Amino acid sequence: MTIQLGQIAPDFEQDSTQGRIRFHEWLGDSWGVLFSHPRDFTPVCTTELGAVAKLAPEWERRHVKVIGLSVDPVDSHHRWEGDIAETQGAAVNFPMIADPDRKVADLYGMVHPQADPSITVRSVFVIDPNKKVRLSLTYPPSAGRNFQEVLRVIDSLQLTDGYKVTTPADWQQGDDVIIAPSVNDEAARTLFPDGWKTLKPYLRMVAQPRG
């Protein structure tokens, strides 16, 4: 199954390190980040789980719940958490889904048979409060994920959901943004009374709106 942007994230019920989880119910009205790992006790993923744990205040600030997954059982996840705390200096503070039957992996297309049919690839899904998939990423086994980039995209999504703007390449919080092409100049004068800089008729830069 291929998960497409704008699609409702498939719901599921599965065991995790924090008990039985019904995914949509667990998300509630929060944003969500679901990310998968090939298996427990793998080196790159050990560093990733530690990195995500250390970002707990950042996830909370953005009203984001994070949840991990691998094909190993819950007791294996718990043993792995000890290694993560020891080596990464941060205890895992979010649930890890146990998916030994590959139910969730199949729902989300996390198994790529030509890579390895027995394990999940390293996927990331960002899901909004309406349960729609807003970002999907798949990383190779050798490259650790950049969770600062995931945060950056969530910042962009939350900003552009609230205002009629889009964000340019390499945008960071506080940088200028782009007036959405759907907004004509007349409407823009009302929305952005302090004005904007027109580089091209289709490329109008404006200061980041503030809530």
- As a whole number of angstroms, the distance between CA 209 and CA 162 comes to 9
What is the CATH classification number for the domain harbouring 202? 3.30.1020.10
Are 67 and 29 within one domain? yes
* Average pLDDT score over the chain: 92
Q: What is the mean pLDDT of residues 147-163?
A: 97
**Residue 120 pLDDT grade (very low, low, confident, very high; cuts 50, 70, 90):** low
Residue 153, in any domain of the structure: no
User: What is the model's pLDDT at position 154?
Assistant: 98
Which pair of structure tokens corresponds to residue 95?
């649930």
Q: What is the mean pLDDT of residues 13-28?
A: 97
User: What is the model's pLDDT at position 87?
Assistant: 97
Q: Is the pLDDT of residue 5 over 60?
A: yes
What is the CATH classification number for the domain harbouring 134? 3.40.30.10
Are 18 and 46 within one domain? yes
Within a 10 A sphere around the Cβ of 115, how many other Cβ atoms? 13
User: What is the model's pLDDT at position 41?
Assistant: 94
Between residues 70 and 132, the one the model is more confident about: 132
Antiparallel, parallel or unpaired: β 96-98 and 64-70: parallel
**Residue 94 pLDDT grade (very low, low, confident, very high; cuts 50, 70, 90):** very high
Residue 117, in any domain of the structure: yes
How many domains does the structure of the chain reveal?
2
Residue 151, in any domain of the structure: no
Return phi, psi of residue 164, to 5°.
-85, 65
Residue 182, in any domain of the structure: yes
In the chain, % of residues over pLDDT 70: 94
**Residue 148 pLDDT grade (very low, low, confident, very high; cuts 50, 70, 90):** very high
Look up the domain containing 91 and give its range.
13-145
User: What is the model's pLDDT at position 113?
Assistant: 47
Q: What is the mean pLDDT of residues 12-25?
A: 97
Are 186 and 105 within one domain? no
Residue 126, in any domain of the structure: yes
Are 83 and 174 within one domain? no
Helix ranges restricted to H, 93-146? 103-107
Between residues 17 and 118, the one the model is more confident about: 17
Give the active site residues: 45
- As a whole number of angstroms, the distance between CA 190 and CA 169 comes to 26
Q: Is the pLDDT of residue 211 over 70?
A: no
Whether the predicted model's global pTM rises above the 0.85 cut: yes
Q: Is the pLDDT of residue 169 over 70?
A: yes
Are 138 and 106 within one domain? yes
Are 60 and 125 within one domain? yes
Q: Is the pLDDT of residue 155 over 60?
A: yes
User: What is the model's pLDDT at position 116?
Assistant: 57
Are 85 and 169 within one domain? no
Lowest-pLDDT range, 2-16, 103-117, 134-148, 149-163?
103-117
